[in-house]
Chains A and B, each alone.
Chain A
């Protein structure tokens, strides 16, 4: 497992590597900036400590602005004049320009394209596995459309301890729907389009290994996508304070081969509308 380091969890989605690249790059830059500044800083502290008979040296000894005294330089703000008077100061802004150049490059060539590919452009619903995730205090309810690819109707009136998302089992589309509590199964190598919402307060869908995080907001249906690249068991943890049981709000994420996934889905879709067997509540 050499696809992760620096204490980051294993990378298990297609874009995890892109996010890690940014983390490495920025930290390398931060470290470099800090060390260079640190060396310069320590040098200054030692070189310019107070010593007997050595006075401080002003930077303006050549033009003594104390005498010229420009009291209201802010009321007249001509740039040319400022430039002449502050040539020395502007030179000292060099580090600032360097940092700015780095940031501009980072935004243009990294942040915008990668952000757009992860959060803005979504896979087509026809190609992807569509999953609806309904968060609640303090559980994750996962809803698959089943073989027909159609989600059954959900209704507020049907929300019950045994039916946390209020799935209407009388709806024809719902006959092969699968609802699971605190378990998210995903097939390897296929894009999953997950639509997030919440029944009560704001939760947050966070799977560290996929490097994905998105708030689930009541009243909104927010799409995210994941393409898992590694078979394994991971953890879906709530990352937005959601109440007294927030720390316990977690689910298992199981990435399996497409065949295993299909088998699992078929088994779970066994019709049992009279007594739905998914007590999703951990409390």
Chain B
């Protein structure tokens, strides 16, 4: 390996910070970029929330900045709302949460936790990032295209997505992002399989590494179908092929030109074949983060390491067999619905097992209530709400009524926001000392935590009664339908909490950047952790470990009998 050698070279600024091949710098690049995208996606949502709470009223401050065809007199048009909706979903999923959970955390921590000097393919790793960033910029740039950005939902169902403007750039950008993701997942798998330090058997991998491995497999197997499906959609748009377009369409009074003979449901099958595993891509890395933080702050081994790993693998396999539960009322054969009902109920079993293990890990513990632990603990009940509310949606009969209502929005935002994003934020506080050798401020962290959790619940809890009242999602003016009027005040509540949530992110942003340069300096292993990433300097030099580490035991040997300290690092030979 040339890493020890290259460590002696003085790297230029560009080599070190921009076109870096060091997995840690790439991880941090992913971190900052994906957080910026999260903010952008959040900003789009804030605009939409105004429209939902106060339809027909001009957007304050920003309203008149938008072109008149999008927001005449500052009032959001239906087309603009649809654009924001599609882009909010796309940015949050493909440019925000997944790159943060996989690109940032996986890149930085996987090589460290397995005791490797870098990723297996450092240059390919750089290429992943340098496809992700232009892909993301292209996605944002599509706002400037004639007709605006994509406006057919992040799901892009044809025929709407074929006839709507903005979709071509969306597809091109998705193809770039998918390529980036594929390169990354291959890299992760090869690294995890080949580059583990001596003694680091699969049974000694931290749960976080297992989560990343399963995630990489999911990305590797699920994304190619979407890439193919996207290219077919591109053909339909650009060359008027008809993979998804049936014959004899009349669109706004005009006959559609195209050969016909396609099937709109084909796209839905291909899309959800990716997008359901994608849900677990959003959730598994955060579960890994929560496991690490909980093991460390309970000062005892995780309850049921093997159960958790087996459950993650089980989730990985099952996630390929449940996609059509998004399609119960799509016109797909209702008989097929029965099959997917059963698989959906099966996949809830390993998910419950993981949550159970995490909660039982608290039994007999000595819980340290620091900021990362607060985030990890909040994950459990809030992700629980997300999981439980999935039940009536996964059940065919109740889904007839609740499908595409606000109930669905509430459900998956509890999973992804109060689940994944809470865990990812907690991970920042936990590993910040590793990244910069400094600590983030505790008081600001507490403010950020309590403010965020309360506001997130305030945004998403009202969505359940709205859904039960039959309020549909994706309506740019909910008051246009009479049956929504009763629950319209809840939209206002939701909106105010959304603005408060934005305010509560300010202490975090300040804390993050202030602490990089002026945070309290910490020791190498401030949390007294056992896993390998804490067995090298903070921040680790290029090549990570001064000597290849040797692993002697499992990842969570806390409070081991007969030891003087309450933690027993994996590398400790004694």
Contact sample, A vs B, 9 pairs, CB 8 Å cutoff = A19-B400, A44-B362, A71-B201, A86-B304, A96-B356, A201-B160, A213-B400, A241-B474, A247-B480
Residues of A within 8 A of B157 (CB): 201-202, 240-241
> Contact: B384 with A34, CB < 8 Å?
yes
Q: Which residues does A use to contact B, with CB under 8 Å? A: 6-9, 18-19, 22-23, 26-27, 29-30, 33-34, 37-38, 40-41, 44-45, 48-51, 54-61, 64-66, 69-74, 82, 86, 89, 92-93, 95-96, 99-100, 103-104, 106-107, 110-112, 114-116, 118-120, 136-137, 156, 159, 161, 199-202, 204, 206, 208-209, 211-220, 222, 235, 237-248, 250
Residues of B within 8 A of A119 (CB): 334, 337, 396, 400
Complex: A118 Cα to B400 Cα, angstroms: 10
Known: A26-B391, A72-B201, A217-B331. A103 touches B348 (CB 8 A): yes
Residues of B within 8 A of A38 (CB): 381
Known: A7-B469, A66-B554, A241-B153. A26 touches B329 (CB 8 A): no
Residues of A within 8 A of B364 (CB): 48, 56-59
Looking across the interface, which residue of chain A has its beta carbon closest to that of B260?
Answer: A219
Chain A at the B interface: SS class: mixed
> Contact: A204 with B329, CB < 8 Å?
yes
Known: A30-B389, A92-B360. A235 touches B250 (CB 8 A): no
B338 interface residue per 8 A CB criterion: yes
Residues of A within 8 A of B202 (CB): 72, 74
> Contact: B483 with A111, CB < 8 Å?
no
Known: A71-B201, A118-B397, A156-B250. A8 touches B468 (CB 8 A): yes
Looking across the interface, which residue of chain B has its beta carbon closest to that of A8?
Answer: B468
**Contact for A45 among B334, B367, B385, CB less than 8 A:** B367
> Contact: A235 with B483, CB < 8 Å?
yes
> Contact: B263 with A51, CB < 8 Å?
no
Residues of B within 8 A of A48 (CB): 298, 362-367
Complex: A30 Cα to B398 Cα, angstroms: 14
> Contact: A57 with B395, CB < 8 Å?
no
Segment from B75-83, B93-101, B115-123, B282-290 that makes contact with A? B75-83
> Contact: A247 with B79, CB < 8 Å?
no
Segment from B16-24, B132-140, B241-249, B503-511 that makes contact with A? B241-249
Known: A7-B465, A156-B255. A111 touches B307 (CB 8 A): no
**Contact for B561 among A64, A202, A215, A217, CB less than 8 A:** A64
Looking across the interface, which residue of chain A has its beta carbon closest to that of B362?
Answer: A44
Residues of A within 8 A of B516 (CB): none
Known: A235-B482, A244-B79. A8 touches B558 (CB 8 A): no
B519 interface residue per 8 A CB criterion: no
